[in-house]
Amino acid sequence: MLVLGIETSCDETGVALYDDARGLLAHALHSQVAMHQDYGGVVPELASRDHIHRLPLLLRCVLRDSGKTVGDLDGIAYTAGPGLAGALLVGASAAQGLAFSLGIPTVPVHHLEGHLLAPFLSGNPPPMPFIALLVSGGHTQLMRVSDLGRYELLGETLDDAAGEAFDKTAQLLNLGYPGGPALAKLAISGDATRFKLPRPMLHSDDLNFSFSGLKTAVLTTLRRETPDAQGRADLAASFQDAVADVLVAKSTSALKATRTGNLVVAGGVGANQRLRARLNEAALKNGFTVYYPELEFCTDNGAMIALVGALRLRKAGASLSFGVRPRWDLAELPAI
């Protein structure tokens, strides 16, 4: 079964072809980062317009790379939410229009389910059940995944998401948008022990997070002193370690509390090398195994949407509904 996946929930246009017998055949991605950079964040209307412009070009790319035609498609999966309403509608409309013209079904996909199942695109997929640490620009959640489509929320952020904290802190350090990768790069030459930043909710006895105070602590530090180049690197490293400390501790607690031995790290912040190193250390020490999606599938992409589309289409068949869900609770999904 050949499924086309379309991702347009935010500032990346992703298109992919997934065959449930052969795996991922082709994928293409266009990042709008350069376009939004001047504004310091995503401008929703510009994002929607750019998705309209890019989708046909990316579709042509994946068809050419895989040697397929639209006539070979069995279904079209698109991100239906959560995300920016206008941007989601572009992907949904393109999927519905093309599917209608071809007489094939569409599958509305939950963006976070895409992130959760992205490790299944690699050659070493995690066994079920697993705990998922979902750390993206909009979400920070710990989920228990007992089976495909069976997700139980264990804890989440009460304010900023981890990626949002990276982006806002990067902005305080004038690192531009999106700040996560830039801050991580600056932190490489920094001393993480130089600034004593808080570890919010580390001892809260639950699996929730809070990152807005950490960003404020960075702001307070910058008001108190004007660090030189080394000081800025030290501050970036200190911030990164504070986030990593909390994420590692809460993930370890979630694994222990649920007696689960496998951790999957999904979402853009999962690309952070320092977080990965710290999680790997904790895994060795506590006897669990960590699974990461391939680096290119940590951040938003069409491949994860095509994969979930193929799984859901195989199980539930065609969907006749057409709509988007800018806000969408992952626990509402039916099992696959």
Contact pick of 7, 12, 241, 300 for Zn ion (by CB under 5 A) = 300
Residues in 184-203 at the binding interface with ligand KG4, rule: CB under 6 A: 184
Contact pick of 180, 190, 200, 309 for ligand KG4 (by CB under 6 A) = 180
- For the chain, the farthest-separated pair of C-alpha atoms sits apart, in whole angstroms, at 64
Nearest approach in angstroms of CB 139 to Zn ion is 8
β-partners of residue 56 are none
* Beta carbon nearer to ligand KG4, 75 or 83: 83
- Rg of the chain taking only CA atoms, in angstroms: 20
CB under 8 Å to 155, separation ≥6 — which residues? 141, 142, 206, 207, 208, 209, 250, 254
The yes or no reply on residue 268 touching ligand KG4 (CB under 6 A) is: yes
Instruction: Choose the binding region for ligand KG4 from 18-26, 96-104, 177-185, 203-211 (rule: CB under 6 A).
Output: 177-185
Interface with ligand KG4 (CB under 6 A), residue total 19
The yes or no reply on residue 271 touching ligand KG4 (CB under 6 A) is: yes
Nearest approach in angstroms of CB 195 to ligand KG4 is 18
The interface partner of residue 80, options being Zn ion, ligand KG4, none and the CB cut-off 5 to 8 Å by kind, is: none
Residues in 238-297 at the binding interface with Zn ion, rule: CB under 5 A: none
Contact pick of 179, 190, 200, 302 for ligand KG4 (by CB under 6 A) = 179
* Beta carbon nearer to ligand KG4, 75 or 179: 179
Contact pick of 32, 66, 136, 140 for Zn ion (by CB under 5 A) = 136
Instruction: Choose the binding region for Zn ion from 75-83, 130-138, 181-189, 312-320 (rule: CB under 5 A).
Output: 130-138
The interface partner of residue 2, options being Zn ion, ligand KG4, none and the CB cut-off 5 to 8 Å by kind, is: none
Residues in 153-212 at the binding interface with Zn ion, rule: CB under 5 A: none
d(CA 222, CA 148): 45
The pattern of x and - marking residues 134 through 173 that bind ligand KG4 according to CB under 6 A reads: --xxx------------------------x--xx------
Contact pick of 119, 267, 302, 309 for ligand KG4 (by CB under 6 A) = 267
The interface partner of residue 42, options being Zn ion, ligand KG4, none and the CB cut-off 5 to 8 Å by kind, is: none
Chain residues that interact with Zn ion, rule: CB under 5 A: 136, 300
Chain residues that interact with ligand KG4, rule: CB under 6 A: 10, 136-138, 163, 166-167, 178-181, 184, 267-269, 271-272, 299-300
